[in-house]
A and B are shown apart, each in its own frame.
Chain A
Amino acid sequence: MKIGLAISEIAAAEAELSEALLEVGERHKANHDVYHLSRSLARWSQAHVAAVERFAERHDADVDTAAMGRDSAGPLAAVRERSAELLGRRPEPGVLLLRDLRDLHLKATRASLGWTMLGQAAQAAKDPELLECVSLCHPETLRVVRWTLTRLKEASPQVLTT
């Protein structure tokens, strides 16, 4: 059984997503919706890591919980937020925002694919608890996928045509 691999993969993907959400939020503090929402969504990803971690031992998975429970992305965060405020009056951050939203979308998609695989495996392995974990967490990750896509669609015309 390689379910452990899938669990490690998800834990890593959600931890990375959480870290990236916090970083992007801080970098785009002048985009107030991105700042506030990315912090809320990062908490989801942190909860997802904790949720799969409960299955790590059973399936012999390696879960790195170092990224969990942080409210910000470390000591550089304050510097990033301050420079975001200063940069907020220049047009270049728009291009950076598109790049960051695209990367977030890809990271969320990677995590979502991980949940899909794990859900399939949980059914095949007849593990109802693991399946329940997937069915609680995966929809939230999908909401991150959709939000990053919507935000990217909204931001692209202005950044790319003016």
Chain B
Amino acid sequence: MADPLSNPWGERTPYARGDEWPARVDEHLVEQPESWAQVASVLHSNGDAYDLGVNQGRLVGVRGRAEDRVNRGRLGPKDLFGWQFVGSPDRLTRPLVREDGDLRAADWDEAMGAIVARSQELLAASGPGAIAFYTSGQLFLEEYYTLAVVARAGLGTNHVDGNTRLCTATASEALKQTFACDGQPGSYSDVDHCDTLFVVGHNVAETQPVLWMRMLDRLHGPDRPRLVVVDPRRTAPAAEADVHLAVTPGTNVALLNGLLRELMANDRIDRDWVDGHTVGFDELEQAVMPYTPEHASELCGVPAAHIREAARLIGEAEALLSTVLQGVYQSHQATAAAVQVNNVNLVRGMLGRPGAGVLQMNGQPTAENTRECGANGDLPGFRNWANDAHVEELARIWNVDPLEIPHYGPSTHAMEILRYCEESSIQMLWISATNPAVSLPELARIRSILAQEGLFVVVQDLFMTETTRLADVVLPAAAWGEKTGTFTNADRTVHLSDKAVEPPGQARSDLDIFLDYARRMDFRDKDGDPLVKWSDAESAYRAWQLCSAGRPCDYSGITYEKLRGESGMQWGGERLYTDGRFNASPDECEAYGMDLLTGALVEPTEYRALNPAGKAILKAADYQPPDEQPSDDHPMILNTGRTIWHFHTRTKTARAPELQAAAPGPWVELSAPDAARLGVEEGEEVEVETVRGTVTAPVRIGDALEGTVFLPFHYGYWDEPGGVGPNGRGRAANELTITSWDPVSKQPLFKTAACRVSRA
């Protein structure tokens, strides 16, 4: 096995188009295990399957599962080393409550009693609109579904969201705009069958290293697929690409409209497929016509010749696989751009067959389940809140009156939840398994809201974080490996993750915490029976199977028993829409859609007129310049992102010594010309400043696009004195980012802010 720290993608196992990806079993063991437990990775969205080695009640290593369709035994560096956080000596082991300004140890009765008392007080005084939940993309399906039932039918609040708002909200919304329903169309096995890869704002080498291994094995195989990469940085995929489109941050729509126009101008359109399966072609054609390669080039900074060449490769493809991630989702006009990638595949008829598909990715391991179960605020099972029949069906399953389930509008998204906290109309915020005091934009604002008097903040987590330090009640949670449950990756592969070891101290699974809350709150259905009728992971899963039965994300055939035997099963089959039929008819669809520029909702009657036969929708969008443009004071564009060595806010990965050593601190990536202009050298400290804050870090001279600055977003303050915010020295990239979000997906904007760089 190659050294994963110097070569994280390991040795090549090249294969040809249509062949099965060869297995390669990676492992890392610090002791010989006496037993193994089946799990999948929670440190990225790829869903790598492996076994956890256990010796004397402790985790001692990992071994990839060769039979699993996702990774065929391979493991990325976070899979190999990341598990060590579980046994970290600084885990939270007791509930904490705030008293006289400080957090002190308490027992579960006292902590849960405080939460229940506050909930009941607020319900009586202000109603459910005073209570909000902000969850994660890192819990298990069973936990999200329980949370959704508790929040929606128990309390009746419309304020439910997850940090998936920062990672996968645009994937979900882009699919809803195009296919009128969530659900990943493509499959990782499309890598095996494609002849062209279109990788858009997706640094797959670092975010999903095992998927990149699969792509690399094709790229180094006998019939190399062609690779087009859109990224402002010269990432590993960009370096491998036939055409690298180095787009100016914030201008994806201009570039993609340019590509669509070239496809149309050169008659690279599958007319029969478009006529048979889509609506909206004429409007799309009209909208993209002004985006000649030269005009698009002026807007997005990519040379016109590169746009033409990329369009030629995409236009000649026989099996085109397009993939999308944060370079689109966290950038300006996020949903509009993600939808244009869908449009590229649709106008070329590249959908629903081997090698031809779209993968709108997720950033987190279980984000897919947040979406399916409704812990992101959608109704569970991809049901349409604006369709009374869907709400009535859900009410029957939960045995509650339909009016008990808030469905008078879209649920409150995370940034609006924070806004309602700021203006004090939300007075209790329950955060699970996420660290908004580092991950949300404009941290000075976020910290001041979380610390605001009158806002009761509950946080359940594994460790003390920047966010737990601002909480009123802290609940110690059991980690992955200490609890059983299921989760689903970005290509709809469901994995079971078994309990391997006991949680430390009094830590409890998030499921047990939510179940305990439901019991103490005594939530009832309309017959007076307990609303939440399950008591453990498997019974919660069975309840979800009933809720999802007959829906596009139907889990009824995927049982715990099968998952233990088979190692990863996809819902919906290998790929969706293989018969050219969509879940888009007015009665079936999850969403009627929105105006891509304003977020204005399409009314049900308008949707019926637009798409009576339930085809895919080609939605056009004009390019709009970002709200915050570089100026004389702040002449550069800030781009934030991730590294292969860390996940989220490093609470887990920094506790794996190998990962921490690989990337111990933040850095500022500059292009060589910008570094020369500023007179700074590699390793020299610089300050990056926006109107919102300052971050100081050493320079790394890299392949950033000239005029742009890249900062990793993983670093915060939990491992520094004080542990909440900057002590005169900003470290978190989100000190700098702007409070602004996509009008459709409400995903915050992390990829464009105007900044200046100077020597520290």
For A130-162 the 0/1 string (1 means CB < 8 A from B) is: 000000000000011011011001100111011
Is there contact, CB below 8 Å, between B425 and A154? Answer: no
CA of A162 to CA of B124, assembled, Å = 11
Q: Is B23 an interface residue (CB 8 A)?
A: no
Q: For residue A154, which residues in chain B have a CB less than 8 angstroms away from its CB?
A: 409-410, 416
A154 CB to closest chain B CB (Å) equals 5
Give which listed residue, B129, B595, B624, B739, contacts A158 with CB less than 8 A.
Answer: B129
Is there contact, CB below 8 Å, between A162 and B129? Answer: yes
CA of A90 to CA of B454, assembled, Å = 12
Residue with the greatest number of chain B CB neighbours at <10 A, chosen from A36, A39, A149, A162:
A162
Q: For residue B627, which residues in chain A have a CB less than 8 angstroms away from its CB?
A: 36, 39-40
Is there contact, CB below 8 Å, between A40 and B624? Answer: yes
B424 CB to closest chain A CB (Å) equals 6
B738 CB to closest chain A CB (Å) equals 8
Is there contact, CB below 8 Å, between A143 and B595? Answer: yes
Tell me how many residue pairs across A and B have CB atoms closer than 8 Å.
82
Give which listed residue, B415, B416, B423, B599, contacts A88 with CB less than 8 A.
Answer: B423
Q: For residue A157, which residues in chain B have a CB less than 8 angstroms away from its CB?
A: 129, 158, 406, 408-409
> Provided the pairs A32-B741, A146-B601 are in contact, do residues A162 and B595 lie with their beta carbons within 8 angstroms?
no
CA of A71 to CA of B126, assembled, Å = 40
B177 CB to closest chain A CB (Å) equals 15
Q: For residue A150, which residues in chain B have a CB less than 8 angstroms away from its CB?
A: 594, 598-601
Q: Is B412 an interface residue (CB 8 A)?
A: yes
Q: Is A109 an interface residue (CB 8 A)?
A: no
Is there contact, CB below 8 Å, between B424 and A89? Answer: yes
Is there contact, CB below 8 Å, between A89 and B452? Answer: yes
Q: Is B564 an interface residue (CB 8 A)?
A: no
Q: Is A78 an interface residue (CB 8 A)?
A: no
A36 CB to closest chain B CB (Å) equals 5
For A88-115 the 0/1 string (1 means CB < 8 A from B) is: 1111011000000000000000000000
Give which listed residue, B130, B410, B426, B599, contacts A147 with CB less than 8 A.
Answer: B599
Is there contact, CB below 8 Å, between B415 and A32? Answer: yes
A124 CB to closest chain B CB (Å) equals 26
- Among residues of B, the one whose C-beta sits closest to the C-beta of A90 is B423
Give residues 113-141 of B contacting A (CB, 8 Å): 126-127, 129-130
Is there contact, CB below 8 Å, between A32 and B425? Answer: no
Q: Is A31 an interface residue (CB 8 A)?
A: yes
For A20-58 the 0/1 string (1 means CB < 8 A from B) is: 000000000011110011011100000000000000000
Q: Is B103 an interface residue (CB 8 A)?
A: no
> Provided the pairs A157-B409, A161-B129 are in contact, do residues A89 and B600 lie with their beta carbons within 8 angstroms?
no
Give which listed residue, A30, A40, A90, contacts B424 with CB less than 8 A.
Answer: A90
CA of A90 to CA of B419, assembled, Å = 11
Is there contact, CB below 8 Å, between B600 and A158? Answer: no
A27 CB to closest chain B CB (Å) equals 14
Is there contact, CB below 8 Å, between A91 and B425? Answer: yes
Is there contact, CB below 8 Å, between A37 and B743? Answer: yes
CA of A87 to CA of B488, assembled, Å = 43
> Provided the pairs A32-B740, A159-B425, A162-B129 are in contact, do residues A143 and B598 lie with their beta carbons within 8 angstroms?
yes
Residue with the greatest number of chain A CB neighbours at <10 A, chosen from B406, B409, B410:
B409
Q: For residue B739, which residues in chain A have a CB less than 8 angstroms away from its CB?
A: 32
Is there contact, CB below 8 Å, between A31 and B419? Answer: yes
Give the interface SS of chain B, mostly helix, strand, loop or mixed. Answer: loop
Q: For residue B127, which residues in chain A have a CB less than 8 angstroms away from its CB?
A: 161-162
Q: Is B521 an interface residue (CB 8 A)?
A: no
A150 CB to closest chain B CB (Å) equals 5
Is there contact, CB below 8 Å, between A36 and B425? Answer: no
Q: For residue B410, which residues in chain A have a CB less than 8 angstroms away from its CB?
A: 154
Q: For residue B594, which residues in chain A have a CB less than 8 angstroms away from its CB?
A: 150
CA of A162 to CA of B126, assembled, Å = 5
Q: For residue B406, which residues in chain A have a CB less than 8 angstroms away from its CB?
A: 157
> Provided the pairs A32-B415, A157-B129, A162-B130 are in contact, do residues A147 and B595 lie with their beta carbons within 8 angstroms?
yes
B611 CB to closest chain A CB (Å) equals 17
Q: For residue A41, which residues in chain B have a CB less than 8 angstroms away from its CB?
A: 598
Q: For residue A146, which residues in chain B have a CB less than 8 angstroms away from its CB?
A: 595, 598, 600-601
Q: Is B420 an interface residue (CB 8 A)?
A: yes
CA of A33 to CA of B441, assembled, Å = 14
CA of A30 to CA of B420, assembled, Å = 11
Is there contact, CB below 8 Å, between B409 and A94? Answer: no
Is there contact, CB below 8 Å, between B595 and A91? Answer: no
CA of A79 to CA of B406, assembled, Å = 38
CA of A37 to CA of B332, assembled, Å = 13
Is there contact, CB below 8 Å, between A37 and B158? Answer: no
Q: For residue A32, which residues in chain B have a CB less than 8 angstroms away from its CB?
A: 415, 419, 739-741
Q: Is B597 an interface residue (CB 8 A)?
A: yes
Q: Is B422 an interface residue (CB 8 A)?
A: yes
CA of A20 to CA of B82, assembled, Å = 53
Is there contact, CB below 8 Å, between B423 and A93? Answer: yes
CA of A146 to CA of B595, assembled, Å = 9
CA of A44 to CA of B755, assembled, Å = 28
B28 CB to closest chain A CB (Å) equals 44
B166 CB to closest chain A CB (Å) equals 15
Is there contact, CB below 8 Å, between B423 and A91? Answer: yes
Q: For residue A40, which residues in chain B have a CB less than 8 angstroms away from its CB?
A: 597, 624, 627
For B577-612 the 0/1 string (1 means CB < 8 A from A) is: 000000000000000001101111100000000000
> Provided the pairs A37-B598, A143-B597, A146-B595 are in contact, do residues A158 and B425 lie with their beta carbons within 8 angstroms?
yes
Q: For residue B600, which residues in chain A have a CB less than 8 angstroms away from its CB?
A: 143, 146-147, 149-150
CA of A93 to CA of B126, assembled, Å = 18
Q: For residue A159, which residues in chain B have a CB less than 8 angstroms away from its CB?
A: 425
> Provided the pairs A33-B743, A40-B624, A154-B410 are in contact, do residues A94 and B423 lie with their beta carbons within 8 angstroms?
yes
B671 CB to closest chain A CB (Å) equals 29
CA of A91 to CA of B423, assembled, Å = 5
B436 CB to closest chain A CB (Å) equals 16
CA of A32 to CA of B414, assembled, Å = 13
- Among residues of A, the one whose C-beta sits closest to the C-beta of B594 is A150
Q: For residue A149, which residues in chain B have a CB less than 8 angstroms away from its CB?
A: 600
CA of A161 to CA of B157, assembled, Å = 12
CA of A33 to CA of B415, assembled, Å = 10
Give residues 128-171 of B contacting A (CB, 8 Å): 129-130, 158
Q: For residue A39, which residues in chain B have a CB less than 8 angstroms away from its CB?
A: 627
CA of A153 to CA of B409, assembled, Å = 7
Is there contact, CB below 8 Å, between A30 and B422? Answer: yes
Is there contact, CB below 8 Å, between A158 and B412? Answer: yes
For A65-97 the 0/1 string (1 means CB < 8 A from B) is: 000000000000000000000001111011000
Q: For residue B597, which residues in chain A have a CB less than 8 angstroms away from its CB?
A: 40, 143
CA of A158 to CA of B420, assembled, Å = 8
> Provided the pairs A36-B740, A161-B127 are in contact, do residues A94 and B624 lie with their beta carbons within 8 angstroms?
no
A79 CB to closest chain B CB (Å) equals 19
Q: For residue B408, which residues in chain A have a CB less than 8 angstroms away from its CB?
A: 153, 157
- Among residues of B, the one whose C-beta sits closest to the C-beta of A149 is B600
Is there contact, CB below 8 Å, between B598 and A30? Answer: no
CA of A144 to CA of B130, assembled, Å = 30
Give which listed residue, A30, A143, A153, contacts B419 with CB less than 8 A.
Answer: A30
CA of A37 to CA of B426, assembled, Å = 24
Give residues 93-110 of B contacting A (CB, 8 Å): none
Question: Residues of B with Cβ closer than 8 Å to A?
Answer: 126-127, 129-130, 158, 406, 408-410, 412, 415-416, 419-420, 422-426, 452, 594-595, 597-601, 624, 627, 739-741, 743
Question: Residues of A with Cβ closer than 8 Å to B?
Answer: 30-33, 36-37, 39-41, 88-91, 93-94, 143-144, 146-147, 149-150, 153-154, 157-159, 161-162
Beyond A32-B415, A32-B739, list 4 extra A-B contacts (CB 8 Å). A41-B598, A143-B597, A158-B420, A161-B129
23 CB < 8 A contacts A-B: A33-B599, A33-B740, A37-B598, A37-B743, A39-B627, A40-B624, A90-B423, A91-B423, A91-B424, A143-B600, A144-B598, A147-B598, A150-B601, A153-B408, A153-B601, A154-B410, A154-B416, A157-B408, A157-B409, A158-B129, A158-B425, A162-B127, A162-B130
